[in-house]
Amino acid sequence: MRDPWNLSLPAHPANYTVADRPASHPVRYVVIHLTEETFADTTRIFQDPASRVSAHYLVASATGEVARLVAEKDIAWHAGNWEYNTHSIGIEHEGWPARPEFLTDALYRASARLTAAVCARHGIPADREHVIGHSEVPGATHTDPGPHWDWNRYLRLVTLCRRTGG
């Protein structure tokens, strides 16, 4: 399965930890986020060395465009929990938990291709125990992806992408 991202918009190195995953920390989870910002503003935040936050990927709402922000071998600072940061891939999605109009077909399909590829690469089961929302990280203070995120649809798409190779 080829990498489903088509943009490289690197986060500032001050916003993640250089590592050698999976050798140093096995990847066990994919954490799903909603940015509560636009795609462009999220990119700017992750490129600002003072922000102290990042994610591995960012998915655009309207187009499904996927940007890689932090290499999977490195530890992005996305989950608010160091243990989960070290053992997960963080995928941000342009949108807000209270605004379901941002949860487009293009976003779901592109994100599912990405999650299927991440799960295949790291041997992560594509289920709700391993593909989780930010709100499900222990100690989370965030509510994303929120009540409008369609987990059943999303995991069906991830499973389909894994079976068909994307």
**101-136: per-residue pLDDT in tens?**
999 999 999 999 999 999 999 999 999 999 999 999
**26-75: per-residue pLDDT in tens?**
999 999 999 999 999 999 999 999 999 999 999 999 999 999 999 999 99
Q: All domains of the chain, ordered by start, with CATH? A: 7-164 (3.40.80.10)
Beta-sheet pairing, 75-76 with 16-17: antiparallel
Residue 2 has pLDDT above 80, yes or no: no
Options 37, 92, 101, 136, the catalytic residue: 92
Could you tell me the sign of the dihedral formed by the alpha carbons of 50, 81, 116, 101, in that order? negative
Q: What is the pLDDT of residue 7?
A: 81
What mean pLDDT is reported for the chain?
A: 95
**140-163: per-residue pLDDT in tens?**
999 999 999 999 999 999 999 999
**81-93: per-residue pLDDT in tens?**
999 999 999 999 9
Catalytic residue status for 65: no
